[in-house]
Structure 1
Amino acid sequence: MRTFMQTIPGGVPLIIGLALICLIVSMVPIRPQMWLYPLVRQAVVLKINFQTRDMLARETPHFFIRYTERDADSVDMVATAAEAAYEPVTATLNYAPEKKTLILIYPDRQAMKGAYGWVGESNAMGFYWGGVIQILSPKAWMKNSQSVEEFITTGPLAHEYTHLVLDHLARGNYTRWFTEGLAQYVEYKVNGYEWLTAENGLSGGGYSFKELDHDFDGLPNQALAYRQSLAAVRYIAEVQGDAKLTQVLAFLKSGVPVNKAIERSLGMDYASYETMVNLWAQNNMKQYSKIAN
């Protein structure tokens, strides 16, 4: 049997090439960029689809899943979880991709890291990149590798599919904190899941929105950055109302930057929004409890 890396030849060169393409696209003014972005994403999907053509495949109404023989007994569970994520994600974002989504299942963590040249430790169970959802085999992390309910509730598909749908809707016009906040919000709304640690409490302040906007992935306390992004999206949906979140998404779709989309939808400037989110989060967001965890 071919290794997973062999099914995706040139894993690291592929990422370098994609990074260069994204850099070029990012240098184009926003509206032309939003026109070019889907073309680049579709090219990536076609490339990965071709490179994984020899893998086993399973098709559902909205997804196309590729996997190795090691996950032949898990693919039905992944298919069920993917379809379970479809309706709540598309309903929350009020948008559905036109084509089926490609999902790749990595048989183990080393394969998932190696395919894209990751270094160091990573506990990610999946990621979204270039129009494709890529996940770690349930057998590599679940306590009960055959529990569909556990995989739906704690697995990565609702989160990663939210990234994908937003990417299609906004055509790349969003910030890292917004897509992570929205993905966590859908997880919270559907499964009640929140990422809580002793390091991401919101009662003692946190990063500024300027930091979240410009260096989300470089912030040293990623757990706190993610927690703040969830708070920022939950504030819009729960305090201002779901209609306001839908309006923000509509502005993003039309090419309005995230900060301006929020200002126009909520009728307040970005600084006031930051202040209100922080105040609301301190009083309404669940805090980490050592007893509960």
Structure 2
Amino acid sequence: MDYRRGEIQTAILHYETARRQDPNDVTLQARLVTAQRELQAEAGFDRLYSSHFAVRFERSTDRRRVHEVASRLEIVYNKVGRTFSYFPVEPFIVILHPDRQFQDATLSPGWAGGLFDGKIHLPMRGITRDRQTAEKILSHEYTHALVDRLSGGHAPAWLSEGLALYLEGRADAWGREVLARHAAEVGPLNSLHGDFLELPPHRATLVYAQSFQATKALVRRYGMDRVRKLLRALSVMPDFSSAFEAVFHDRYRDFDAAWFAGQERF
């Protein structure tokens, strides 16, 4: 929680203490390395606060551009919030990385236009171009943050990514076209619960398209309000199959099987 609140030095102290108790904990080691890398990357960063966001940025950045990003984030906060009927009070941390630092600071792949890891990480190049591109990127990453907050961090990757694509306004035809080209490579949804960041570009495009199409099928079948209830259920019932059945009164494996068989893809 310290890391998510932006208290990186405190998080590092906790991770180091825990590592001394269990030096073989690989997950803990990865978190420590991430926090140390971020602390180093953010040296010389300044902060700007809006109503719902704490924005960090390199001091050499034009503050007018940062104010513009913060204003756009507030617009996205309201737009996405209306979809989920959810307007969190606790602010979200946003880190604006210089273009040259984004991939190095986040260890994200070259195809990533942003990253959410408890904080919203954004490269300046994407969000200070044209307004339409900026709004898509901000909507996408903020949706990840909101889904994480609603679900207590328990939403499967395909649902989080699918909702992010849905709320950014990705064209319907895109997902259909990708799946049509790679129909033989499509896998079941239960294979898409883990992180996508390690995937090569070709595979990433495919699983993003799967996530998008499956999420549209979910919304079409049950409605966005019940999808929101599913996310809330996950915060107290982390097992996705159990939460799915409790909210939708259907079995996840049946929905997944229908998806995999092609009934819900298009």
Using structure 2 for the length normalisation, give the TM-score.
0.72
Name the count of aligned residue pairs: 238
1:88 — aligned with what? 79
Deviation at 1:90, TM superposition (A): 2.2
Structure 1 residues 136-175: aligned runs within 5 Å: 136-137=123-124, 140-141=125-126, 145=128, 147-152=130-135, 154=136, 156-175=137-156
Name the CA shift for 1:258/1:88 in 2 (closer, same or farther; >3 Å). farther
1:133 — aligned with what? 120
Deviation at 1:141, TM superposition (A): 4.4
The answer to whether the 8 Å contact 1:93/1:249 transfers is no
Deviation string, structure 1 residues 31-63 (Cα, Å, up to 9, x no partner):
xxxxxxxxx9xxx7xx97998485233222111
Deviation at 1:85, TM superposition (A): 0.9
Distance across 2 between alignment mates of 1:242 and 1:117? 33
Deviation at 1:83, TM superposition (A): 0.9
- Counterpart of 1:178, as a letter, is L
Name the CA shift for 1:50/1:61 in 2 (closer, same or farther; >3 Å). farther
Give 4+ residue runs of structure 1 displaced > 6 Å after superposition: 47-51
Distance across 2 between alignment mates of 1:96 and 1:196? 29
- Counterpart of 1:134, as a letter, is H
Pair 1:204 & 2:191 matched: no
The answer to whether the 8 Å contact 2:139/2:164 transfers is yes
Distance across 2 between alignment mates of 1:216 and 1:146? 26
Name the CA shift for 1:149/1:225 in 2 (closer, same or farther; >3 Å). closer
Pair 1:59 & 2:59 matched: no
Structure 1 residues 266-285: aligned runs within 5 Å: 266-278=248-260, 279-283=262-266
Deviation at 1:105, TM superposition (A): 0.9
Distance across 2 between alignment mates of 1:182 and 1:146? 24
2:105 — aligned with what? 115
Structure 1 residues 235-274: aligned runs within 5 Å: 235-274=217-256
The answer to whether the 8 Å contact 2:144/2:164 transfers is yes
Gaps of 5+ in 1: 1-8, 25-39, 284-293
Residue aligned with 1:213, SS: coil
Distance across 2 between alignment mates of 1:196 and 1:276? 17
Gaps of 5+ in 2: 1-7, 20-24
Which segment is superposed worse, 272-281 or 177-186?
Answer: 272-281
Residue aligned with 2:82, SS: helix
The answer to whether the 8 Å contact 1:74/1:146 transfers is no
Distance across 1 between alignment mates of 2:141 and 2:82? 15
- Counterpart of 2:187, as a letter, is Y
Name the CA shift for 1:100/1:216 in 2 (closer, same or farther; >3 Å). closer
Deviation string, structure 1 residues 100-142 (Cα, Å, up to 9, x no partner):
112111121x301122345xx5032211113x111010xx347
**For 1:213, which of 190, 193, 217 is the aligned residue?**
193
Deviation at 1:174, TM superposition (A): 2.2
The answer to whether the 8 Å contact 2:55/2:94 transfers is yes
The answer to whether the 8 Å contact 1:202/1:281 transfers is no
Residue aligned with 1:64, SS: strand
Distance across 1 between alignment mates of 2:176 and 2:26? 33
- Counterpart of 1:125, as a letter, is G
The percentage of aligned residue pairs carrying the same residue is 23
Structure 1 residues 6-45: aligned runs within 5 Å: 23=27
The answer to whether the 8 Å contact 1:127/1:135 transfers is yes
